[in-house]
Amino acid sequence: MEGNFRWSLVTAIAPVAWGTTYYVTHQFLPADQPLYGAVIRALPAGLLLLAVRRKLPSGSWWWRSAVLGTLNMGAFFALVYLAAQVLPTSVASTVMATSPVAMMMIAWALLAERPHLLALAGAGMGIAGVGLMLFAGTSTVDPVGVLASVAAMVMSSFGYVLAKRWGGQVDVLASTSWQLVAGGAVLLPVAVAVEGAPPDLDVAAVLAFGYVTVVATALAFVAWFAGLRHLSAAAVGLIGLLNPVTGVLLGTLLAAETLTVRQAGGIALVLVGIILGQPAVAARLTGRPGRGRRVGPGTPAPGGRRRRSAPTA
């Protein structure tokens, strides 16, 4: 249980770091070229990790890196960009808050990680909490934006579970670097086609991109994928809800925004949902070992029979 708690803290680095990008982007980065912003964020981060690890893909990891990089970074960033253009932030964020449920269902199908009821309850509370924090009501909702948000949520959820399924074959630093490089390479031609020339950056923007690249991308994705190695997809997905919580709290602390009673209630609801979904908490409340872990080849099933592990691609 203590090991699970430590890995939960490591995993939390990612959504907290991602949550800080709202403030950094708004204050210091060019607002009219978000696709180039995503490229500048992903590609240097991947190259940095590659320089640290100094290992290139081999065999099937060439195409696996391309698939994961597209799902988790390239196509994801492009779809989030499209949704941001036509949807209120509250609607897009609430759609993305359903990702823990998607990760649970996909992990159940691909990894035999059956989600426990407390995790599902925690996900429901998390979705409600995000809606309570951010939703301010809107007269019209563009269906194209909703489809883009749903596609981004499903693709990244699928990509994260695939990364968990394949990740045991290589170390986290290597696989994360390959994904970021592939994702940046996929996104670069899209940025050129949509946004034209790269943005001109002043000193503040360069420093801000340095933070986003090193902390909110390289470090954050390493922590995220490390968490997926040691925790269930359900637990990791719920920890991801710290992203909007961090954004709201940072806006209150640094941008002089007012934290309303409704937002405070939403934050509390999200935090309770995250806690409920963690394996150690489920084990304490139910008196049984946390469910949702992948069944190993030597794990006895009820009745003394041994279960076969889920096949790997």
Distance in angstroms (rounded) separating the CA atoms of residues 88 and 98: 17
b/e for 254-272, b at 16 or more Cβ within 10 A?
eeeeeeeeebeebbebbbe
Sign of CA dihedral 54, 59, 60, 66: positive
pLDDT tens string 251-261? 788 867 778 88
The total number of residues shown for the chain amounts to: 313
Question: Is pLDDT above 50 for 299?
Answer: no
Question: Is pLDDT above 50 for 3?
Answer: yes
pLDDT tens string 120-169? 999 999 999 988 888 766 557 778 888 988 998 999 999 999 999 998 78
Which value, in Å, is the radius of gyration of the alpha carbons in the chain?
19
Provide the Cα torsion 251, 226, 161, 92; round to 10°.
Answer: 10
Q: What's the CA angle centered on 158, arms 152 and 162, to 5 degrees? A: 140
Higher pLDDT, 299 or 282: 282
Mean pLDDT, residues 61-90:
86
Q: What is the pLDDT of residue 80?
A: 83
Distance in angstroms (rounded) separating the CA atoms of residues 312 and 310: 7
Copy the structure tokens of residue 48. 């940095």
Mean pLDDT, residues 222-243:
93
